[in-house]
Amino acid sequence: MGAMVIVAYRPKPGCEVELDALVREHVPCLRTLGLVTERPAQAMRAKDGTIVEVFEWLDGAIEAAHSSPRVVELWERFCAACDYVPLRELPEAEMLFAEFQPMAL
SS3 letters for 52-64?
EEEEEECCCHHHH
Task: Look up the CATH superfamily of 3-99.
Answer: Dimeric alpha+beta barrel. (3.30.70.1090)
pLDDT over 90 for what percent of the chain?
97
Domain ranges of the chain: 3-99
Vertex 52, ends 37 and 98: CA angle to 5°? 115
pLDDT at 72: 97
pTM for the whole structure: 0.94
The fraction of the chain above a pLDDT of 70, given in percent, is 100
